[in-house]
Amino acid sequence: DAGITQSPRYKITETGRQVTLMCHQTWSHSYMFWYRQDLGHGLRLIYYSAAADITDKGEVPDGYVVSRSKTENFPLTLESATRSQTSVYFCASGLTAGASTDTQYFGPGTRLTVL
């Protein structure tokens, strides 16, 4: 089915472990985004990508690594997980052209707990 999917939906890990969250979209959108959602902060942008092999930092990038070798995939890696990275992570994609019609479509989220 067309859309944007995330895996896993739920993940429990331990401090110091590496974790990769996957995001896949079937629309061939050029832009993809990773947000985290925490109580009291709303959604905050971690990283985004304008195209394959082009990525840039968002508001809260520390402790995260991204890559985009294919247009449809945008994995987010926590190289050494910390308790402060316990959060709900949302991936989004969009055809962004710098216009008022721009929008983003959000995945279902991954709930990550770091013990």
Partner 1 sequence: KQEVTQIPAALSVPEGENLVLNCSFTDSAIYNLQWFRQDPGKGLTSLLLIQSSQREQTSGRLNASLDKSSGRSTLYIAASQPGDSATYLCAVLTSGTYKYIFGTGTRLKVLA
Residues that bind partner 1 (CB under 8 A): 31, 33, 35, 40-45, 48, 50, 58-59, 90, 94, 96, 98-109, 111
Q: Which of 12/17 has CB closer to partner 1?
A: 12
- Reported as half-sphere exposure (CB side, CA atoms, 13 A), residue 45 has a value of 13
Evaluate the CA torsion angle 68, 2, 85, 62 in order and state its sign: positive
How near is the Cβ of 10 to partner 1 at its closest, in Å?
10
Q: Which of 97/115 has CB closer to partner 1?
A: 97
Cβ proximity of 47 and 58 under 8 Å: yes
How near is the Cβ of 44 to partner 1 at its closest, in Å?
8
Q: Which of 2/99 has CB closer to partner 1?
A: 99
Determine the number of helices (DSSP H) and then strands (DSSP E) in the chain. Answer: 0, 11
Q: Which of 35/64 has CB closer to partner 1?
A: 35
Q: What is the dihedral of CA 93, 97, 99, 104, to 10 degrees?
A: 0
How near is the Cβ of 80 to partner 1 at its closest, in Å?
26
Which residues are registered as beta bridge partners of 21?
76
